[in-house]
Amino acid sequence: MPERIKIKHVKDINYFCTEEVISAPDTEMEDMFLVEVNRGCARSCRFCAASFVYRPARFRSETEIIAAIDRGLIRKKKIGLVGTAVSDHPGLVNICEYIIAQKAQAGLGSLRIDRIDEKIVDLIKANGDRDGRARAGMQGSQRMRDVLHKI
Ligand code: SF4
Protein backbone atom coordinates (compact mmCIF):
# COMPACT_ATOMS: atom_id res chain seq x y z
CA MET A 1 0.00 0.00 0.00
CA PRO A 2 1.30 3.52 -0.72
CA GLU A 3 1.86 5.74 2.30
CA ARG A 4 -0.46 8.37 0.92
CA ILE A 5 -3.61 7.48 -0.91
CA LYS A 6 -4.45 9.87 -3.73
CA ILE A 7 -8.10 10.15 -4.60
CA LYS A 8 -8.74 9.99 -8.32
CA HIS A 9 -11.56 12.30 -9.23
CA VAL A 10 -13.66 11.76 -12.30
CA LYS A 11 -13.49 15.07 -14.16
CA ASP A 12 -16.77 14.74 -15.99
CA ILE A 13 -19.55 12.89 -14.22
CA ASN A 14 -21.61 12.89 -17.41
CA TYR A 15 -19.61 9.94 -18.69
CA PHE A 16 -21.59 7.55 -16.52
CA CYS A 17 -24.91 7.54 -14.74
CA THR A 18 -25.39 7.15 -11.02
CA GLU A 19 -28.92 6.13 -10.34
CA GLU A 20 -30.85 3.57 -8.40
CA VAL A 21 -30.33 0.00 -9.50
CA ILE A 22 -31.74 -2.05 -6.64
CA SER A 23 -34.96 -1.09 -4.92
CA ALA A 24 -35.71 -2.75 -1.62
CA PRO A 25 -39.37 -3.16 -0.64
CA ASP A 26 -40.57 -2.07 2.81
CA THR A 27 -37.90 0.60 3.11
CA GLU A 28 -38.12 4.38 3.41
CA MET A 29 -37.23 4.97 -0.26
CA GLU A 30 -39.15 2.09 -1.80
CA ASP A 31 -41.37 4.39 -3.86
CA MET A 32 -38.61 6.80 -4.91
CA PHE A 33 -36.15 6.42 -7.79
CA LEU A 34 -32.84 8.05 -6.85
CA VAL A 35 -30.74 10.02 -9.33
CA GLU A 36 -27.43 11.71 -8.52
CA VAL A 37 -27.36 15.28 -9.83
CA ASN A 38 -24.06 16.58 -8.51
CA ARG A 39 -20.96 15.61 -6.65
CA GLY A 40 -18.71 17.71 -4.45
CA CYS A 41 -19.65 21.13 -3.17
CA ALA A 42 -17.91 24.47 -3.56
CA ARG A 43 -19.29 25.92 -0.34
CA SER A 44 -16.74 24.25 1.91
CA CYS A 45 -18.62 24.23 5.19
CA ARG A 46 -15.86 23.26 7.57
CA PHE A 47 -17.62 20.27 9.10
CA CYS A 48 -18.72 18.71 5.80
CA ALA A 49 -16.92 15.61 4.54
CA ALA A 50 -18.87 15.72 1.26
CA SER A 51 -17.30 19.03 0.39
CA PHE A 52 -13.71 18.08 1.23
CA VAL A 53 -13.62 14.43 0.17
CA TYR A 54 -15.52 14.75 -3.09
CA ARG A 55 -14.02 17.97 -4.44
CA PRO A 56 -14.31 19.59 -6.89
CA ALA A 57 -17.96 20.47 -7.31
CA ARG A 58 -19.35 18.89 -10.48
CA PHE A 59 -22.85 18.99 -11.89
CA ARG A 60 -24.39 16.35 -14.13
CA SER A 61 -25.95 17.87 -17.23
CA GLU A 62 -29.70 18.37 -17.46
CA THR A 63 -29.77 16.08 -20.50
CA GLU A 64 -28.18 13.19 -18.59
CA ILE A 65 -30.35 13.79 -15.53
CA ILE A 66 -33.54 13.83 -17.59
CA ALA A 67 -32.50 10.61 -19.35
CA ALA A 68 -32.04 9.02 -15.90
CA ILE A 69 -35.42 10.42 -14.78
CA ASP A 70 -37.09 8.87 -17.82
CA ARG A 71 -35.60 5.49 -16.90
CA GLY A 72 -36.82 5.97 -13.34
CA LEU A 73 -40.34 6.94 -14.37
CA ILE A 74 -40.78 3.53 -15.97
CA ARG A 75 -40.43 2.07 -12.47
CA LYS A 76 -41.66 4.72 -10.04
CA LYS A 77 -43.55 8.00 -9.80
CA LYS A 78 -41.23 9.76 -7.37
CA ILE A 79 -37.77 10.90 -8.38
CA GLY A 80 -35.32 11.66 -5.59
CA LEU A 81 -32.61 14.10 -6.63
CA VAL A 82 -29.46 13.18 -4.74
CA GLY A 83 -26.32 15.22 -4.29
CA THR A 84 -24.51 17.54 -1.96
CA ALA A 85 -26.07 20.98 -2.23
CA VAL A 86 -28.78 19.90 -4.69
CA SER A 87 -30.27 23.38 -4.81
CA ASP A 88 -26.97 24.67 -6.28
CA HIS A 89 -27.62 22.75 -9.49
CA PRO A 90 -28.08 25.43 -12.17
CA GLY A 91 -30.81 23.42 -13.89
CA LEU A 92 -32.80 22.48 -10.80
CA VAL A 93 -35.91 24.45 -11.76
CA ASN A 94 -36.03 22.95 -15.27
CA ILE A 95 -35.45 19.46 -13.89
CA CYS A 96 -38.23 19.81 -11.31
CA GLU A 97 -40.57 21.29 -13.92
CA TYR A 98 -39.88 18.29 -16.14
CA ILE A 99 -40.66 15.82 -13.34
CA ILE A 100 -43.90 17.61 -12.46
CA ALA A 101 -44.90 17.76 -16.15
CA GLN A 102 -44.61 13.95 -16.23
CA LYS A 103 -47.18 13.86 -13.38
CA ALA A 104 -44.51 12.62 -11.04
CA GLN A 105 -43.11 14.01 -7.83
CA ALA A 106 -39.62 15.35 -7.19
CA GLY A 107 -37.92 14.41 -3.94
CA LEU A 108 -35.71 17.24 -2.74
CA GLY A 109 -34.01 16.14 0.43
CA SER A 110 -32.60 19.45 1.51
CA LEU A 111 -32.53 22.90 0.04
CA ARG A 112 -30.23 25.69 1.07
CA ILE A 113 -32.27 28.59 2.35
CA ASP A 114 -30.23 31.08 0.28
CA ARG A 115 -31.28 29.27 -2.90
CA ILE A 116 -35.00 29.32 -2.21
CA ASP A 117 -36.81 31.94 -4.22
CA GLU A 118 -40.39 32.42 -5.35
CA LYS A 119 -39.93 30.05 -8.28
CA ILE A 120 -38.68 27.24 -6.02
CA VAL A 121 -41.53 27.82 -3.58
CA ASP A 122 -44.03 27.59 -6.46
CA LEU A 123 -42.40 24.36 -7.60
CA ILE A 124 -42.54 22.87 -4.11
CA LYS A 125 -46.27 23.68 -4.06
CA ALA A 126 -46.85 22.30 -7.58
CA ASN A 127 -44.93 19.22 -6.54
CA GLY A 128 -47.67 18.50 -4.03
CA ASP A 129 -45.01 18.29 -1.38
CA ARG A 130 -46.78 17.84 1.91
CA ASP A 131 -43.84 16.44 3.84
CA GLY A 132 -42.39 19.87 4.50
CA ARG A 133 -38.77 20.84 4.23
CA ALA A 134 -36.09 20.60 6.82
CA ARG A 135 -35.12 24.10 7.89
CA ALA A 136 -32.16 24.15 10.15
CA GLY A 137 -30.10 27.02 11.41
CA MET A 138 -27.67 24.33 12.54
CA GLN A 139 -25.41 26.68 14.47
CA GLY A 140 -26.18 28.90 17.39
CA SER A 141 -25.02 32.28 16.16
CA GLN A 142 -24.14 34.17 12.97
CA ARG A 143 -20.54 34.36 14.17
CA MET A 144 -20.45 30.56 14.42
CA ARG A 145 -22.04 30.23 10.97
CA ASP A 146 -19.41 32.61 9.54
CA VAL A 147 -16.60 30.57 11.13
CA LEU A 148 -18.05 27.35 9.69
CA HIS A 149 -18.79 28.94 6.28
CA LYS A 150 -22.42 28.09 6.82
CA ILE A 151 -25.31 30.46 6.35
S1 SF4 B 1 -23.56 23.37 1.54
FE2 SF4 B 1 -24.06 21.31 2.30
S3 SF4 B 1 -22.94 19.91 0.96
FE4 SF4 B 1 -22.06 21.94 0.66
S5 SF4 B 1 -20.31 22.03 2.05
FE6 SF4 B 1 -22.06 22.90 3.15
S7 SF4 B 1 -23.00 21.18 4.29
FE8 SF4 B 1 -21.62 20.32 2.71
pLDDT in tens, 16-56: 999 999 999 999 889 999 999 999 998 888 888 888 888 89
Give the pLDDT of residue 110.
Answer: 73
**19 C-alpha to ligand 1 centroid (Å):** 21
Query: Among 38, 39, 44, 51, which residue has the most ligand 1 atoms within 8 Å of its CB, making it the best to mutate?
Result: 51
Is the pLDDT at 148 greater than 90, yes or no? no
Give the pLDDT of residue 136.
Answer: 56
pLDDT band at 132 (very low <50, low <70, confident <90, very high): low
pLDDT in tens, 70-116: 999 999 999 999 998 899 999 999 999 999 999 999 998 778 888 88
Q: What is the mean pLDDT of the chain?
A: 88
pLDDT band at 130 (very low <50, low <70, confident <90, very high): low
Please tell me the pTM assigned to this model. Answer: 0.84
* Pocket of ligand 1 contains residue 52 by CB under 6 Å: no
pLDDT band at 145 (very low <50, low <70, confident <90, very high): confident
Give the pLDDT of residue 134.
Answer: 54
Per-residue CA distances from 17 to 36, 71, 77, 148, 149 (Å): 8, 11, 19, 32, 31
Q: How far apart are CA 53 and CA 46, in angstroms?
A: 12
* Atom in ligand 1 nearest the alpha carbon of residue 110: 2
> Domains in the chain, start-ordered, CATH in brackets?
30-148 (3.30.750.210)
The residue that leads in pLDDT, 86 or 130, is 86
Closest C-alpha to ligand 1, atom 3 = 84
* Pocket of ligand 1 contains residue 77 by CB under 6 Å: no
